[in-house]
Chains A and B, each alone.
Chain A
Amino acid sequence: MRLAPGDPVLAMYGGQIGVSLEELEAARERLGYNDPMLVQYGRWLTDIVRGDLGNSVVNGLPVEQVIAEKIWPSAQLAMVALILSVFIAVPAGVLAALRRGSLIDRFLTGFVSAGIAIPQFWLGIMLILVLAIQFQIFPASGYVSPAEGLGEWAMHIALPSLTLAITLAAPTARFVRSSMLDVLSEQFVDVAKAKGLSGRRVIWVHALRNALLPALTIVGLQAGTLMGGAVLIEWVFAFPGLGWLLVNAVTARDYPVLQASLLLFVTAFLLVNFLVDLFYRVLDPRLR
């Protein structure tokens, strides 16, 4: 990271009038930016093992503190988006499968290919344009913690999570549809019907449960989409989460924060994939 052009010390003192070159040099020396690259990297590694991630170059606060206060909003955004996307994708996928070839089915196909092709952050901008600027229903940016008021919290998280949910729901809906079609052609569905169970119960209980199992695969694939998407979406909505922090650290050349948040993203990504793998094995004993 330290190879990157741009000078963190300059960024730190940027805008201050009357800073002498000697003072800048002294700051570089004090913070160790004059040491060889390898020494700096070694120091960073040993500090991490000791649990010290350094201080933010921008405001001097410990990196742990800077990051910790951003994790919770990001986690909320991800959870709300994921739940919303399931609530959009599952009914849409099931309906399309039941009425195969109908108008609903064709509408879903269109929604899916549009949802995959649309740049997430542009969709966010369009939602701001319509729902926050044209019709001022939702605030265009910011975040309010649930402790300060649930209503305000919901209003602020609505647009960013809806943006993420729409793009997440597109591939999930297609997956639910095809997996539902597979299940509906299986014998146990006919058996359930023959037993005299109502059509609705057969579809929503018996068939759906079996169809959702393979559809879970998509959740693992979406961990990457969710994290990558969150970076830009948080930036667009000025939502103070990890993605916003990351982009901010890039522009401010705040290396300690940048390194630590990238490390966190990579760890989180690996962890989610590991958990999903584990989850499959629990759900489907054949995989063991």
Chain B
Amino acid sequence: MNFWKTMVTRDRVALVAAAILGLIAVFALIWPFVSPYGPREIHADAALSGPSARFWLGTDDTGRDMVTLLAHGARISLGIAVAAEILAVLSGVPLAMIAGLLGGIVDSIIMRTTDALLGFPGILIGLMVVTLFGASLATLMIAIALMTVPYLIRVVRNAVVVEKQRLYVVSSTALGVKPGTLLRRTILPNIVSPLIVQVSFGLAVAILTEASLGFLGLSVQPPAASWGTLLQVGYSYIRITPWLVLFPGILIFVSVWALNTLGDAGRDVLDPRLRDTVEQGAR
């Protein structure tokens, strides 16, 4: 916990970022219970209406309350991002640790495959997977996980390579600790910090990708709405109701910024020398 304390006390921007994320999370969790409207409640008399006392941020093309849609959209967008990132961690971390510990040909195979995926335009991976298996929640998560996992594997693998030469690992091996236990009990706790930082960047990429695919109509299908699909609807009415395209975009922008900023701050704490380098995160 010392890691987080150092990070937030030292970096005031990180504190702001954490506060923003907290606010968005609270909004997503609480608002659906507080809202006077349901996410599928249609007000035909007020379709595409502007911000008013009745609908604070206006309504969409079917007359649904925008604030309520944004809160439910937050649950879907952030939910997909978190689920995809969990998938990436569960599949990527074991692979990366094995590559780092074993080295040699196993390392080469895993890392060369990772290199091939690295930097490949994410939206294309998304389009391929979604076209191949149809737009469902599961394929969406797989596509997003596939995009963020190469960065995760690289960071974890490099951390393991550094750790395995440390004295505590060498002595554990000498004491006869089995490789599996060594990875889980001895090495894993020591690489948690870089892992968390990378997950922060990964979540940012995941939110951006879901938004892009949603904008193309390849995320959740109506009447369900994510921030990305709300943008799609807003964009088709841009000349009539420009505010519809404004709010989901701001939420995406702000959450991605906050996650990147937290990631940057975390990395600065881990290694102050990296302060001015370009992050490997978004896109």
A residues neighboring B (CB under 8 Å): 1, 3-5, 113-114, 116-119, 121-122, 125-126, 128-129, 133, 167, 171, 174-175, 177-178, 181, 218, 220-221, 223-225, 227-229, 231-232, 235-236, 246-247, 250-251, 258, 262, 265-266, 269, 273
Q: How long is the Cα–Cα vector from A225 to B278 in the complex, in angstroms?
A: 14
User: At the interface, yes or no: B215 with Cβ under 8 Å from chain A?
Assistant: yes
Cross-interface CB contact of A174 among B123, B212, B235, B278, cutoff 8 Å: B278
Count of inter-chain pairs, beta carbons less than 8 A: 115
B218 to A, closest residue via Cβ: A250
A118→B253 contact, CB < 8 A: yes
Known: A1-B132, A4-B133, A125-B245. A133 touches B239 (CB 8 A): yes
B278→A218 contact, CB < 8 A: yes
Q: Which of B190-247 contact A (CB under 8 A)?
A: 204, 208, 211-212, 215-218, 231, 235, 238-239, 242, 245
> How many of chain B's residues have a CB under 8 angstroms from any CB in A?
41
Q: How far is the CB of A106 from chain B (nearest CB, A)?
A: 11
Task: Other than A125-B238, A235-B216, give 16 A-B pairs with Cβ distance below 8 A.
Answer: A1-B132, A4-B133, A113-B261, A114-B257, A116-B281, A116-B282, A117-B256, A126-B249, A129-B238, A129-B242, A133-B239, A181-B276, A218-B278, A247-B127, A247-B216, A251-B217
Q: How long is the Cα–Cα vector from A258 to B128 in the complex, in angstroms?
A: 9
A179 to B, closest residue via Cβ: B276
A228→B283 contact, CB < 8 A: yes
Known: A3-B133, A125-B235, A177-B276. A117 touches B121 (CB 8 A): no
Q: How long is the Cα–Cα vector from A203 to B133 in the complex, in angstroms?
A: 54
B275 to A, closest residue via Cβ: A178
Q: How far is the CB of A150 from chain B (nearest CB, A)?
A: 28
Chain A contacts of B51 at CB under 8 A?
none
Chain A contacts of B282 at CB under 8 A?
116-117
Q: How long is the Cα–Cα vector from A220 to B276 in the complex, in angstroms?
A: 19
A117→B123 contact, CB < 8 A: no
- 12 A/B residue pairs, CB under 8 Å, sorted by A: A117-B282, A119-B253, A125-B249, A129-B242, A133-B238, A171-B278, A224-B121, A228-B121, A235-B216, A247-B216, A258-B131, A269-B120
